Amino acid sequence: MSEIYNRAQKSLVGGVNSPVRSFSGVGSEPVFITKAKGAHLTDTDGNTYIDLIGSWGPLILGHDERIARAVAERAGQGLSYGLGTPEEVELAETIIAAVPSVEKIRFVNSGTEAVMSALRLARGYTNRDKIIKFRGAYHGHADSMLVEAGSGLLTHSTPSSEGVSASVAKDTLLAEYNDVESVRRLFEENPGEIAAIIVEPVAGNMGVVAPQPGFLEDLRRLTEENGALLIFDEVITGFRNAYGAYQNETGISPDLTVFGKIIGGGLPVGAFGGRREIMNHLSPLGGVYQAGTLSGNPVVMSAGKKALQILKEEDPYGKINEKIDRLEDGFNKLRDRYDLDLSFGREGTMFTLFFNKNVPTTYEEVLESDTKAYGKFFRAMLKRGVLIPPSQFESWFVGAAHTDEDINKILKAAEDSFEEMRESTDCS
Ligand code: KE4
């Protein structure tokens, strides 16, 4: 065991500050990182890795020095004032200009905080208590969202967390992603009681599961028919697939949108926004209270501004898709060569390599994935210098900093890993 991990376990629960980093879902000791550049990480033992985690989504530009410089420059003017700054207005204007359904926005410090606040706003605006979420979806760790959730809960097979009171959980109704009938039934069983549906427009926390044609449109229609709000959780998808939000590509206007990750350039951020008429119910204009010491922090806003500026000016999305096309083609070829139960679940620039014969389109199908085989693959890739997400139930992230050589190395490491896995299976 590494010395740092040994120490970490004494002071941090499980040696980590977020469960999925423990690598316990893939039977490995975690790595501890000291520095990064481009698409590469270096751990405390000097090992380097091609990074396919991307800090779970924020680092679409990789570890980009230009953002670090923007942070250093702004930090030199003061780290926090607890008062308004031009930067938070500028980043708000940038996001509003990029996402037509958002007329006003509020910044917070994490995706969880943004979701929690958006749900409170939806309840306050509709004067209703119940929320529909989808099994296997993850919207951060606010109590009401820790019911049959994905990401780290699914990784550790604890989809519903302890400590969530029954009185809270009863207002969270569960539907099946890509199954509009399961949503319709909930509206019929709870007439006039549902404040909102919250949905990841592309499911990223059960592994990547794309919305089936018409699914999101059906949610929009059902919420309108039943006087409920539609909340798109775009914490991952915001500025991931294209400059703007995933909703822009669908032509659907949700009532509220939640952002995080990329809009903070790698620093702690969250945001929620939507129609002025709804947002104005927030304090200090309205009766829905929401606040935060470091909300809209100028250093964070500067990182986000720089990231979105680079994305807008350089438009790396086409090249990112080309790199993922090469991975998809390469993994499909390896699947055929080694006759593997392997499928490449993808929606644009989000993808997951499933140890599953078919590309899952539902949570139930995701659960059929072979997490043991995924763990073996994770460990084989790690020792070959490729860091894939330490869970079958996460999105992989390729960004602007990954080079063609990185893609070649990933596929070569995968080929050697499958070779090793075949030999060990043959021997066992
Ligand atoms: P944070 O509170 O972790 O900033 O955001 C919560 C959140 C909300 N909505 C979506 C769609 C999300 O994916 C997340 C957080 N994502 C996970 C990984 N898929 C964070 C990684 C972790 O928990 O360590």
Claim to verify: residue 154 and residue 275 sit in the same structural domain? yes
The model's pTM is: 0.97
Claim to verify: residue 54 and residue 185 sit in the same structural domain? no
In this predicted structure, what is the pLDDT of residue 156?
84
What sign does the CA torsion over 207, 113, 157, 155 have?
A: positive
Q: One of 130, 133, 261, 306 is an active-site residue; which one?
A: 261
Residue 144 has pLDDT above 90, yes or no: yes
Claim to verify: residue 69 and residue 126 sit in the same structural domain? yes
Residue 158 has pLDDT above 90, yes or no: no
What does the pLDDT look like over 240-249, one tens digit per residue?
Answer: 999 999 999 9
- Which residue's CA is the closest to the ligand 1 atom numbered 15? 140
Q: Point out the ligand 1 atom lying closest to the alpha carbon of residue 18.
A: 24
CATH number of the domain residue 387 falls in: 3.90.1150.10
Claim to verify: residue 329 and residue 306 sit in the same structural domain? no
Active site residue 129: no
Claim to verify: residue 113 and residue 179 sit in the same structural domain? yes
Ligand 1 neighbourhood includes 204 CB (under 6 angstroms): yes
Claim to verify: residue 362 and residue 254 sit in the same structural domain? no
Domain endpoint, select from 260, 285, 313? 313
Active site residue 143: no
Ligand 1 neighbourhood includes 139 CB (under 6 angstroms): yes
Percent of the chain, pLDDT > 90? 94
Over range 290-313, report the average pLDDT. Answer: 98
The candidate with the shortest Cα–Cα distance to 241, out of 102, 64, 398, is 398
Residue 283 β-bridge partners: none
Residue 284 has pLDDT above 60, yes or no: yes
Claim to verify: residue 49 and residue 167 sit in the same structural domain? no
Domain endpoint, select from 313, 331, 358? 313
Residue 140 has pLDDT above 80, yes or no: yes
CATH number of the domain residue 297 falls in: 3.40.640.10
Claim to verify: residue 270 and residue 413 sit in the same structural domain? no
Claim to verify: residue 12 and residue 99 sit in the same structural domain? no
Domain hosting residue 43, numbered range: 2-60+316-427
Q: One of 5, 49, 125, 138 is an active-site residue; which one?
A: 138
Confidence of residue 151 (pLDDT cuts 50, 70, 90): confident
Q: Which of 58-62, 86-90, 141-145, 162-166 has the least mean pLDDT?
A: 162-166
Q: Which of 13-27, 256-270, 326-340, 414-428 has the least mean pLDDT?
A: 414-428
Q: Point out the ligand 1 atom lying closest to the alpha carbon of residue 205.
A: 19
Over range 151-173, report the average pLDDT. Answer: 88
Ligand 1 neighbourhood includes 205 CB (under 6 angstroms): yes
- How far apart, in whole angstroms, are the C-alpha atoms of residue 138 and residue 195? 19
Ligand 1 neighbourhood includes 348 CB (under 6 angstroms): no
Ligand 1 neighbourhood includes 140 CB (under 6 angstroms): yes
Over range 118-122, report the average pLDDT. Answer: 98
Claim to verify: residue 280 and residue 339 sit in the same structural domain? no
Total of domains in the chain: 2
Ligand 1 neighbourhood includes 115 CB (under 6 angstroms): yes
Claim to verify: residue 32 and residue 109 sit in the same structural domain? no
Q: Which of 140-149, 362-371, 402-411 has the least mean pLDDT?
A: 140-149
User: In which residue are the tokens 């090992």 written?
Assistant: 47
* Mutation test residue for ligand 1: of 108, 112, 397, the one with most atoms within 8 Å of CB: 112
Strand pairing of 130-134 and 194-199? parallel
Active site residue 133: no
Strand pairing of 386-387 and 350-354? unpaired
Confidence of residue 428 (pLDDT cuts 50, 70, 90): very low
In this predicted structure, what is the pLDDT of residue 426?
60
Domain endpoint, select from 313, 335, 363? 313
Claim to verify: residue 299 and residue 157 sit in the same structural domain? yes
Residue 109 has pLDDT above 50, yes or no: yes
CA of 294 to the centre of ligand 1 (A): 19
Q: Point out the ligand 1 atom lying closest to the alpha carbon of residue 394.
A: 19
Q: What is the b/e burial string over 387-397, where b = at least 16 CB atoms within 10 angstroms of the residue's CB?
A: bbbbbbbbbbb
Tokens of 315: 């438009």
Mean pLDDT of the chain: 96
- How far apart, in whole angstroms, are the C-alpha atoms of residue 369 and residue 341? 9
